[in-house]
Structure 1
Amino acid sequence: MPGNDPVNRKLSFGQTIRAVLWSFIGLRKGSEHESDMARLNPVHVIIAGLMAAAAFVAILIVIVNIVVSQA
């Protein structure tokens, strides 16, 4: 069965989040990127990307609020 092959198996949502976070930072080995691209679930990538972007914006808002309230 193709689903049981460890090389062809789709990544879990947690592994997809890890791949998306590494891509946000920009630190990723080319070989890891190539191996993950074939195994990533596009729906998981979209959801993880939206979650990471929302978390990034929320962190920026919190930092700005802290800086502005202390000024």
Structure 2
Amino acid sequence: MSDLKDASRRKASFGAAMKAVFWSFFGVRKKKDYESDAAGLNPVHVIIAGLLSALIFIAVLITIVKLVVAS
């Protein structure tokens, strides 16, 4: 339980979590950067950033499909 509390107190910002999630969606990441993220990112921020990014991705896909079908 102590590990979970320690992980949630990490100092990296939500913007850093969004950046890490973006790179994971893109599929390109340096090992050094990955290790830095794993050590410094707040897991709650990563989960929220992942969900938000997935919603944005789905919305973009739906918009593209609607534009293609409408033309």
TM-score, L = length of structure 1: 0.83
1:65 shift after superposition: 0.1
1:68 shift after superposition: 0.3
Equivalent-residue separation in structure 1 for 2:41 and 2:25 (angstroms): 16
Q: Which runs of 5+ in 1 are unaligned?
A: 1-8
Q: After TM superposition, which residue ranges in structure 1, 4 or more long, deviate above 4 angstroms? A: none
Mapping of 1:21-60 within 5 angstroms? 21-60=22-61
Equivalent-residue separation in structure 2 for 1:10 and 1:59 (angstroms): 31
Identity %: 60
Q: Which has the higher helix share?
A: 2
Equivalent-residue separation in structure 2 for 1:15 and 1:40 (angstroms): 7
Q: Which residue of 1 aligns with 2:6?
A: none
Q: Give the number of the structure with larger relative contact order, counting CA–CA contacts within 8 Å between residues 6 or more apart.
A: 2
Corresponding residue pairs, total: 62
Q: Which runs of 5+ in 2 are unaligned?
A: 1-9
TM-score, L = length of structure 2: 0.83
